[in-house]
Amino acid sequence: MKTIKLVLLAFTLSFTFISCEKYAGEDLLTTQQNPANADTKSDEGKGLCYIWVDNFDSPLALLEHWRVYGNPSPEWKDQAYGRNGLFDNNGPSPVKNYAVSNTLIGRDYGYVVESEVMLKILNPAGTCVCPGIAVTKPSECNPVTGELRTGISMRIIYAGATATWFPAKMRNHTWFIMDFISENGTVASSGYLPADNYSDNWFILRFEVTPAGFVRFFCDETLLWAPLTRLNPMMYKDNLLVLGYTSDGDPQTRSGVAYHNWVKASFSLSPKE
């Protein structure tokens, strides 16, 4: 058993990670899962847990750990709204800008993806601002065009007064939108859930895939949606992380900015005991 643990630790350290100073959580290691040194929200049982965090502490984080898509493409910000080192979607609506990780996450035993984000409204009369997290398969991401299909997606979007592709009653409001590819291949969607209280604040988006294949969506510690339809098995493991989608800092033309302070993925390496 000791030899196996050492091999796992060496495997984990062979990846290039950045510091965890902003994220008040685990070290970026394979750790023995217990309340003393691991995230019990993501895995309440025993077993080995793999944890990957990007804090965007420097511009190199965005260059080394992600492939960025869009014109203009996402960029690194040194500070904004009380946080240091940020991922900026940097995409004027309706253009979708995003980044796709170079690291695969997920095994057959469930996983968690979460990120601290800010949706800042600068001009209510603009169009849209939208931070979000998602996962996709490597085969679903075109490395040239950046076109992709996500298997699980969680976004929060402010629809401004001039976002005419939204019904009039939905404009000037913020909404959660969540979806995933179900086990029969169709897309299951939450529809639009009210989220006005989350505008202009930092909060944590999180979705969890249970070992049984169900998906649960949270904002901070509030459960938003827990459908009884299972996720498509192809999305159980070996996925790429996606950050996006629209953010424009010009208050004269668009609604506002969307920032990610950190992103984290965690998953078990073995079945729970």
Structural domain boundaries, residue 237: 54-268
Domain membership flag for residue 29 = no
Strand stretches in 122-235, DSSP E = 128-141, 148-159, 173-181, 187-194, 202-209, 215-219, 222-225
Domain membership flag for residue 36 = no
Side-chain-side CA neighbours of residue 176 (13 Å): 23
How is the beta sheet containing 173-181 ordered, strand by strand?
Answer: 66-69, 97-105, 239-246, 128-141, 148-159, 173-181, 187-194
Domain membership flag for residue 93 = yes
CA-based nearest residue to 129, from 264, 262, 251: 251
pLDDT average per 10 residues of sequence, the chain (273 residues): 30 29 42 30 54 93 88 91 94 85 90 97 92 92 75 96 92 97 96 96 97 96 97 95 90 86 91 60
What is the structure's pLDDT at 3? Answer: 33
Instruction: Identify whether the C-beta of residue 211 lies closer than 8 Å to the C-beta of residue 193.
Output: no
Distance of CA 159 to the CA centre of its chain: 20
Domain membership flag for residue 174 = yes
Element (H, E) at 261: strand 256-268
Domain membership flag for residue 60 = yes
pLDDT in tens, 118-133: 999 999 999 999 999 9
182 secondary structure, DSSP code: B
Domain membership flag for residue 172 = yes
What is the structure's pLDDT at 145? Answer: 66
Q: Give the span between the Cα atoms of 56 and 199, in whole angstroms.
A: 22
What is the structure's pLDDT at 22? Answer: 61
Domain membership flag for residue 140 = yes
What is the structure's pLDDT at 72? Answer: 85
What is the structure's pLDDT at 23? Answer: 53
Domain membership flag for residue 35 = no
CATH code of the domain in which 158 resides: 2.60.120.200
What is the structure's pLDDT at 143? Answer: 65
- Give the count of domains, the chain: 1
This prediction has a pTM of 0.82
